């Protein structure tokens, strides 16, 4: 199975900040990497697929990069609605696997 490791597991940031979250795969997954946002008590929402492509309706403040084993999610100009937990997930091979999540909190 491919292990997905996210870092940090949590971070504190201020309104207007830019934050980055990293995700590392235990083996190469090309660009078969997705990112999700989850707010407390809510279902996950899809943000990015193919490492850097935005899902329909997702604002351009979210961006993704990377290929192979190392990936980054960047969130610009943090706003109150962006404070949530973010997960990466590989879909290169089964079983599909998720990272452990990164909780973005208000400083």
Partner 1 sequence: QVQLVESGGGVVQPGRSLRLSCAASGFTFSNYGMHWVRQAPGKGLEWVVIISYDGSNKYYADSVKGRFTISRDNSKNTLYLQMNSLRAEDTAVYYCAKGSSGIVGATYFDYWGQGTLVTVSS
* Chain position carrying tokens 């989850």: 38
Q: Which is nearer to partner 1, 16 or 95 (CB)?
A: 95
Q: 69 is written with which tokens?
A: 């084993």
Q: Which is nearer to partner 1, 32 or 75 (CB)?
A: 32
Q: How far is the CB of 50 from partner 1 (least distance, A)?
A: 8
Residues of this chain that bind partner 1 (CB under 8 A) = 32, 34, 36, 38, 42-46, 49-50, 55-56, 87, 89, 91-92, 94-101
Q: How far is the CB of 24 from partner 1 (least distance, A)?
A: 16
Q: How far is the CB of 45 from partner 1 (least distance, A)?
A: 7
CA distance 81 to 27: 33
Q: 54 is written with which tokens?
A: 């935005």
- HSE, side-chain direction, 13 A CA sphere, residue 30: 6
Q: Which is nearer to partner 1, 47 or 75 (CB)?
A: 47
CB 41 within 8 A of CB 25: no
């Amino acid at each position: 199975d491919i292990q997905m490791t996210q870092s940090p597991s949590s971070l504190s940031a201020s309104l207007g900040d830019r934050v980055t979250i990293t995700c590392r795969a235990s083996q190469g997954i090309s660009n078969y990497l997705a990112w999700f946002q989850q707010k407390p008590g809510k279902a996950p929402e899809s943000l990015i697929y193919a490492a850097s492509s935005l899902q329909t309706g997702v604002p351009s403040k979210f961006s993704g990069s990377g290929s192979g084993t190392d990936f980054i999610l960047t969130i610009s100009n943090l706003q109150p609605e962006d404070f949530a937990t973010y997960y990466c997930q590989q879909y290169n091979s089964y079983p599909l696997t998720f990272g452990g999540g990164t909780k973005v909190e208000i400083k």
